[in-house]
């Protein structure tokens, strides 16, 4: 970033940046003492980046490579309900290490004091338009109030009136530099230098402008000339050291920073700059000593505290980092970067609410602060506040449209909302910027699988396997994608990928379970059971393994064995709500309604939002003749998930039993619109239409029911009766 500091007025804090306007003879020096003219802002001391913590609870396994630190992502969990393809809790398995910033903050000005100064100087110039010194002071004051164009206009008039005045050219250069017109600024500085060839401050500012243009060698030449003219000008050594540092000439930079501190023992900035170099060289003790020297000079130097906070963060001394960032903020309350980094450090010690407050503070002081906006979005994302998170990530992408981390997280938000197509577009944008990002390949594959497009998923998973040939999870996911195609050849390829995954990670229960699921598809139930038993040996009570094993046992007619599998899982995981649901379902197959309902209720005690347990409780009450109890249970199920077709199907049956055929028809239509393969719902729809005398509509519904269940003789007889009725009276 930009900046460079001139020696300060006596008794003030160490200067953090350089002033372009030199002290003149006559009254202009009074203006400098009054408003302390700071024009160009460059931060030569800077800071170093904070790395992510590989031991922290949020550290991951796949590199995502964010600016200012590395972040990673863990493989999807097999048994947590979160992760790929499950729509789990927000932030459960995604990269959530915040950004860290390494820029030094800009100074602020006393606006009230500047306004008063402008009023006084305006009156003075009005009283005497020929007072050039007052006019220059007024231009400088207007500049600091933010009206650069007006200041430049005043200075251009002064140049016309006084074409040989070096100070006017100098100040015009400063104004042009602030406006970003660096080439014109350099031209004006050079003209000022011709008029005042022995003025070191002009050479200093010329060097600063060259540095902003990226011409570090020319900047060094100008700083060197300033040093020749003023050998005790500490800031010139400091600025030259910064230019050497930009050219990666660290030894020369260190020498100049040391010289600056020798010349001015009360100058804190060189010590901060030295600490930066030492920190990046891994010389932690020397960096610490330099920062402590800076703080001995000025205990309230915000950038010393800020950089010390970064150093502590690198050492994973997060609480010490918090203390230093807080000290920086006490010294400079609007230090946006300190607020952002304090938020990151607080996040690391688990104080996420406070962290969010500081991300918000950073954005109050710097509304276009990309890192803070990203971090705030991430905080909302982890809280499940997707609308608020979306706002922040959209804000980030407005400021930096190609930031892959923001594209990725916004894609995750759309994915969780079921807007898979838009999520895929964002994932693709992220891959365009970061084409070797393994996590994004995983997410794209997950989205395509959810859309029922396994062939598209295979394209991205194949690329992922090429990127990470030893990644067992990648091979497992590729195997699952081939299994989703379901052809004989695809299942064989699936097994090959899953076996490779097992060779890479023989201790993974998840891979063994995936193997079992494919073996079931191949009707090799004994092999599937063997794989599941191996998975349960590795992780006794694994819920997914238990469920698949119970499915096999149920298919083989061993209901007791299936129930035993769920009971073992419940012993290991007493809060396993789905275990109770499945046991209830097994009791239903046995015709034991009382125990069936008892287990559904246990599942709902553990998880009141378990829509299948709530729905089957309603179905069981319906079968038992308790229509009011069934309707109450089914209404609750639809409150939980209005898109669950089976709940609407059961409710259509309740309405039919009550003789409320129009409502029965509406519910059955809702059920089949949600699941076009729900055959029993078509039968209820046909019955309702028949009761309402809509024979053609009834016939259409029955025909679809028979198509889905060709052996349903009741439906076949109903169609036959309707055909006879229509033949007798075609108008019905």
Among 58-62, 287-291, 494-498, 574-578, which is the least confidently predicted range? 58-62
Average pLDDT rounded to a whole number, residues 74-86 = 27
Domain 643-732: give its CATH architecture: Alpha Horseshoe (1.25)
Among 67-81, 289-303, 569-583, 623-637, which is the least confidently predicted range? 67-81
By C-alpha distance, which of 429, 504, 506, 511 is closest to 476?
511
Average pLDDT rounded to a whole number, residues 512-539 = 94
CA angle 368, 372, 377 (to 5 degrees): 105
With 80 as the cut, is the pLDDT of residue 715 above it? yes
**Cα–Cα distance measured from residue 194 to residue 186, given in angstroms and rounded to the nearest whole number:** 12
**What is the predicted pLDDT for the residue at 12?**
29
- Confidence band, pLDDT 50/70/90 cuts, at residue 569: confident
With 90 as the cut, is the pLDDT of residue 363 above it? yes
**Cα–Cα distance measured from residue 109 to residue 28, given in angstroms and rounded to the nearest whole number:** 19
What are the boundaries of each domain within the chain?
643-732
With 50 as the cut, is the pLDDT of residue 82 above it? no
Identify the residue whose tokens are 């998923």: 457
How many CB atoms sit inside 10 A of residue 12's CB? 11
**What is the predicted pLDDT for the residue at 706?**
92
**What is the predicted pLDDT for the residue at 83?**
29
Assigned token pair, 137:
């002071």
**Cα–Cα distance measured from residue 692 to residue 689, given in angstroms and rounded to the nearest whole number:** 5
- Confidence band, pLDDT 50/70/90 cuts, at residue 694: very high
By C-alpha distance, which of 677, 629, 635 is closest to 652?
635
- Integer CA distances (angstroms), 670 to 208, 226, 664, 673, in order: 71, 82, 10, 5
Contact of 680 with 712, CB cutoff 8 Å: no
Assigned token pair, 48:
């170093």
**What is the predicted pLDDT for the residue at 732?**
60
By C-alpha distance, which of 446, 475, 447 is closest to 462?
475
With 80 as the cut, is the pLDDT of residue 295 above it? yes
**Cα–Cα distance measured from residue 290 to residue 297, given in angstroms and rounded to the nearest whole number:** 11
How many CB atoms sit inside 10 A of residue 364's CB? 12
Q: What is the pLDDT of residues 98-156, one digit of tens each?
A: 444 443 334 556 788 888 988 998 899 899 888 888 888 898 888 888 888 898 898 88
Which residues, 6+ apart, have CB-to-CB distance to 339 below 8 Å? 325, 329, 358, 359, 361, 362, 365, 372
- Confidence band, pLDDT 50/70/90 cuts, at residue 84: very low
**What is the predicted pLDDT for the residue at 53?**
30
**What is the predicted pLDDT for the residue at 32?**
24
Give the SS3 label for residue 72. strand
With 90 as the cut, is the pLDDT of residue 508 above it? yes
**Cα–Cα distance measured from residue 8 to residue 343, given in angstroms and rounded to the nearest whole number:** 32
With 80 as the cut, is the pLDDT of residue 516 above it? yes
Q: What is the pLDDT of residues 479-501, one digit of tens each?
A: 999 999 999 999 999 999 999 99
Q: Mind giving me the DSSP string for 431-458?
A: HHHSTT-HHHHHHHHHHHHHTT-HHHHH
């Amino acid at each position: 970033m930009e900046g460079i500091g001139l020696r300060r007025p006596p008794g003030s804090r160490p200067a953090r940046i350089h002033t372009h306007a030199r002290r003149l003879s006559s009254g202009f020096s009074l203006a400098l003492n009054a408003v302390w003219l700071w024009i160009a802002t460059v931060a030569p001391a800077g800071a170093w980046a904070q790395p992510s913590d590989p031991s922290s609870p949020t550290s991951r396994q796949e590199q995502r490579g964010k600016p200012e630190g590395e972040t990673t992502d863990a493989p999807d969990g097999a048994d947590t309900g979160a992760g790929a393809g499950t729509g789990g809790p927000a932030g459960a398995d995604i990269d959530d290490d915040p950004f860290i910033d390494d820029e030094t903050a800009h100074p602020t000005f006393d606006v009230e004091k500047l306004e008063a100064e402008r009023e006084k100087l305006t009156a003075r110039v009005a009283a005497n338009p020929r007072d050039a010194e007052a006019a220059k002071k007024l231009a400088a004051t207007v500049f600091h109030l933010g009206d650069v164009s007006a200041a430049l206009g005043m200075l251009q008039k002064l140049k016309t009136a006084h074409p040989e005045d070096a100070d006017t050219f100098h100040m015009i250069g400063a104004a042009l530099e602030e406006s970003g017109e660096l080439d014109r600024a350099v031209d004006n500085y050079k003209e000022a230098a011709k008029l005042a060839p022995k003025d070191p401050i002009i050479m200093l500012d010329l060097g600063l402008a060259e540095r902003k243009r990226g011409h570090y060698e020319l900047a060094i030449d100008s700083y060197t000339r300033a040093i020749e003219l003023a050998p005790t000008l500490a800031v010139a050594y400091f600025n030259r050291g910064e230019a050497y540092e930009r050219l990666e000439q660290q030894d020369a930079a260190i020498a100049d920073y040391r010289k600056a501190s020798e010349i001015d023992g009360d100058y804190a900035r060189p010590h901060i700059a030295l600490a930066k170099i030492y920190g990046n060289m891994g010389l932690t003790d020397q960096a610490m000593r330099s920062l402590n020297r800076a703080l001995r000079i000025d205990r309230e130097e915000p950038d010393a505290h800020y950089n010390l906070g970064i150093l502590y963060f690198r050492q994973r001394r997060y609480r010490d980092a918090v203390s230093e960032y807080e000290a920086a903020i006490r010294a400079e309350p609007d230090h946006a970067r300190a607020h952002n980094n304090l938020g990151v450090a607080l996040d690391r010690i688990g104080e996420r609410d406070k962290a969010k407050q500081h991300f918000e503070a950073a954005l109050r002081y710097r509304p276009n602060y990309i890192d803070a906006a990203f971090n705030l979005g991430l905080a909302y994302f982890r809280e499940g506040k997707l609308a608020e998170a979306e706002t922040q990530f959209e804000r980030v992408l407005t400021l930096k449209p190609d930031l892959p981390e923001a594209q990725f997280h916004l894609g995750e938000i759309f994915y969780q909302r079921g807007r898979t197509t838009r999520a895929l577009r964002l994932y693709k944008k992220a891959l365009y910027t970061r084409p070797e990002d393994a996590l994004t390949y995983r997410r794209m594959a997950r989205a395509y699988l959810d859309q029922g497009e396994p062939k598209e998923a295979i394209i991205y998973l194949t690329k992922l396997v090429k990127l990470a040939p030893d990644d067992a999870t990648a091979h497992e996911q590729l195997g699952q994608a081939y299994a989703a195609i379901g052809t004989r050849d695809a299942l064989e390829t699936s097994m090959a990928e899953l076996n490779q995954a097992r060779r890479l990670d023989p201790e993974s229960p998840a891979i063994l379970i995936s193997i079992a699921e494919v073996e079931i598809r191949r009707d090799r139930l004994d092999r599937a059971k063997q794989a599941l038993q191996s998975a349960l040996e590795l992780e006794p009570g694994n819920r997914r393994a238990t469920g698949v094993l119970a499915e096999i046992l149920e298919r083989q007619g061993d209901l007791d064995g299936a129930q035993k599998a769920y009971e073992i899982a419940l012993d290991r995981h007493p809060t396993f709500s789905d275990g109770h649901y499945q046991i209830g379902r097994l009791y239903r197959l046995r015709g034991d309604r009382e125990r069936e309902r008892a287990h559904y209720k246990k599942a709902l005690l553990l998880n009141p939002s378990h829509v299948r347990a709530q729905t089957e409780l309603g179905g069981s009450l319906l079968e038992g003749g308790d229509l009011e109890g069934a309707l109450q249970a089914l209404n609750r199920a639809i409150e939980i998930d209005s898109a669950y077709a089976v709940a609407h199907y059961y409710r259509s049956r309740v309405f039919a039993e009550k003789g409320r055929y129009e409502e029965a028809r509406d519910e059955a239509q809702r059920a089949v619109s949600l699941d076009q393969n729900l055959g029993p719902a078509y039968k209820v729809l046909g019955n309702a239409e028949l009761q309402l005398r809509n024979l053609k509509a009834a016939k259409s519904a029955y025909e679809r029911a028979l198509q889905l269940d060709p052996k349903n003789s009741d439906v076949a007889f109903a169609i036959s009766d309707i055909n006879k009725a229509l033949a007798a009276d075609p108008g019905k």
